[in-house]
Amino acid sequence: MTKLQHHTANLGEVRLHYVVAGESDKTLVLLHGWPQTWHEWHRLIPELARNFRVIAPDLRGLGDSSRPTGGYDKKTVALDVIQLLEQLDCKRIQLVGHDWGGAVAYALAAQRPEWVERLAVLDIVLPGFGLEQAMAPTAERTLWHLTFHLARDVPEFLIGGRERAYISWFFKNVAYNPAAITEADIDEYVRCYAAPGALRAGLEYYRALFQDAEDNRNFARTRLQMPVLALGGDSSLGPYVQSCMEQLADHVKGAVIPECGHWIAEEQPKALLQHLDEFLT
């Protein structure tokens, strides 16, 4: 059985909790989304740790990491991960990010392209390259929460004390198979997002959206040269992830995972493992 080791790194402005598994000389970094933590990868880590040293941090403000008052633009969050990897002496990595973790992964790859051998982005279109357009409601889909989370104070007032009901709505309604996210999984996410300051920190990831768009347009002046894998769930963003990343990188491979919503690592872990195995090795 793969042993998960929990650690905390003091980076000055922020303390990052992170999980490590595996003893390979090849490093794989996994970056989670909202409203999740490193825990979203827990079904995959034992398999991935057979071939990699897996590092899965809780991003700034989330999970069991500390909650600074600012710095939730993805450029800064990526710099946290870069500092963590410097402390661990890991400067050649494979990188996977989901949701906001995908945006952080892109910002990391853009700032340290020489570190990232391969990049996988899961079910997100990036600010500046499709996310703003996706905010517009259509007959098929409305991403209403993007605009709601941008508002100051009101979301905290309405969600505070109701974190379980709010978070559960996303896992039940943005999934192809809601049963894939268990009550125990939701318990863990609620434990983290109901902690003091965690709800606000999670919302700040959305409130940095327009700064992220500006940063991404600046990053895009230099296209990524490492291989990129872009995956979307067929009941979520589907082929739009590939369309987004093709604007930013020269070597993009895309795929749509069937019978899958937004929560790829939890809804279709076997399919995701197959894609990552083919791409990373």
Q: Mark whether 189 is an active-site residue.
A: no
Choosing from 206, 212, 215, 240, which is the catalytic residue? 206
**What does the alpha-carbon distance between residue 144 and residue 147 come to, in Å, rounded to a whole number?**
6
Three-state SS for 1-70 is CCCCEEEEEECCCCEEEEEEECCCCCEEEEECCCCCCHHHHCCCHHHHCCCCEEEEECCCCCCCCCCCCC
- Asked if 119 and 109 touch (Cβ cutoff 8 Å), the reply is yes
Positive or negative, the Cα torsion across 112, 210, 121, 218? Answer: negative
Q: Mark whether 99 is an active-site residue.
A: yes
Q: Residue 256: which of 278, 274, 269, 241 has the closest Cα?
A: 241
Choosing from 17, 149, 262, 275, which is the catalytic residue? 262
Choosing from 64, 80, 99, 123, which is the catalytic residue? 99
R_g (Cα) of the chain, nearest Å: 17
State how far Cα 189 lies from the chain centre.
Answer: 14
Please, how many CA atoms are within 13 Å of residue 231, restricted to the half-sphere of its CB? 26
Place of tokens 């905290």: 156
Q: Mark whether 262 is an active-site residue.
A: yes
Phi and psi dihedrals of 56, rounded to 5?
-130, 100
Helices (H) and strands (E) in the chain, counts: 13, 8
Place of tokens 């896992």: 171
Q: Which residues are catalytic?
A: 99, 206, 262
